[in-house]
């Protein structure tokens, strides 16, 4: 494996993934709705969810609980979450740098198409079941499909182009 491709691909890919995530979460319509009474909801959840985790009630309630010890508003300091997201994006880009050479297509477009197809498989395995089992709405699932597929397709173009430029053909 070409070290230069791994380093540049990981950095460029991580930045691209982070930027695309920012675009999809800031510019496209938000599919996560606000509660009508946050204070009452937080009290009820805290009383019934003793530790952070994922909770489900058969009546159709699916809740991810992630309280801070002091019950502070997590949206007031996004820096730790953004840092973790960027590190996760770097990891994803690195992993796809290892996947890309295994795609037999010799063209950037061909590699991009295969990554796009792989993104749909990832959606089918991970996102679509959330709709089936937990009632995630079609618009929410659609936004997740757009986010994931967009990331894979854009990475296909960027990493495919970098690979063509930096990795000698066999």
Torsion of CA 109, 114, 115, 117, to 10 degrees: 120
Q: How far apart are CA 109 and CA 37, in angstroms?
A: 49
Whole-structure pTM value: 0.87
Residue 14, pLDDT score:
98
Q: Check: CB of residue 22 under 8 Å from CB of residue 78.
A: no
Residue 170, pLDDT score:
66
Question: Domain residue spans in the chain?
Answer: 3-32+74-166
Residue 1, pLDDT score:
77
Residue 12, pLDDT score:
98
Q: Check: CB of residue 98 under 8 Å from CB of residue 18.
A: no
**Ranges under pLDDT 50 in the chain:** none
């Amino acid at each position: 494996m070409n070290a230069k491709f791994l380093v540049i691909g990981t950095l460029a890919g991580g930045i691209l993934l982070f930027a695309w995530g920012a675009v999809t979460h800031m510019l496209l319509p938000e599919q996560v709705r606000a509660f009508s009474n946050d204070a009452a909801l937080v009290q009820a959840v805290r009383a019934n969810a003793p530790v952070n985790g994922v909770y489900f009630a058969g009546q159709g309630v699916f809740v991810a609980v992630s309280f801070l010890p002091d019950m502070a508003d997590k949206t007031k300091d996004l820096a730790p979450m953004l840092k973790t997201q960027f590190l996760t994006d770097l990891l994803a880009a690195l992993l796809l740098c290892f996947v890309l050479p295994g795609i037999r297509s010799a063209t950037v477009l061909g590699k991009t198409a295969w990554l796009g197809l792989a993104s749909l498989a990832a959606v089918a395995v991970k996102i679509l079941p959330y709709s089936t089992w937990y009632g995630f709405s079609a618009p929410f699932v659609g936004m997740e499909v757009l986010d994931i597929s967009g990331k894979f397709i854009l990475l296909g173009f960027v990493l495919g182009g970098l690979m063509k430029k930096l990795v000698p053909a066999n």
